[in-house]
Amino acid sequence: MDLLAEYRRATMFFEAGDPTGAARLLEPIIEAEPDNSSVRQLLARAYFQSAQLNRAEEQLRELVDRDPSDHYAHHVLGRTLERMNRPVDALRHLRIAAAMYSTNTDYATALRRVEGKVAR
């Protein structure tokens, strides 16, 4: 299998609005290259976009465990946990992402939204 060609194909599926198709192509790649963070991140995003939230959480936790300074992985993990109705768990990751990249308005918006849910 030409992994690079499959990754490019998966990216095209994802960008065309077919995250499920992208995930199907990415799953064998991550099995062959489990340390490939780019593939794992796209797979997590594909799972997130296709509402396979448990799978997204698993991939994102792996990314955060491997690289705790990955602000984007923290952000998407926080958003995933928020969608799973786990705002207390989400808050930690959203705070980390916002602290690491304080100029990102998407991060700040997500953080404020979840802080509001937790404060209720």
The DSSP symbol for 84 reads T
Mean pLDDT of 10-36: 96
CA distances, 108 to each of 17, 26, 32, 87 (Å)? 26, 30, 36, 15
Q: At residue 116, does pLDDT exceed 70?
A: yes
pLDDT of residue 82: 98
Q: Residue written as tokens 């939230």? A: 53
What pLDDT, in 10s, does the model give residues 48-67?
999 999 999 999 999 999 99
What pLDDT, in 10s, does the model give residues 59-88?
999 999 999 999 999 999 999 999 999 999
Yes or no: say if 81 and 89 are a contact pair by the CB < 8 Å rule.
yes
Q: From CA 14, how far away is CA 10, in angstroms rounded?
A: 6
pLDDT of residue 1: 64
The DSSP symbol for 116 reads H
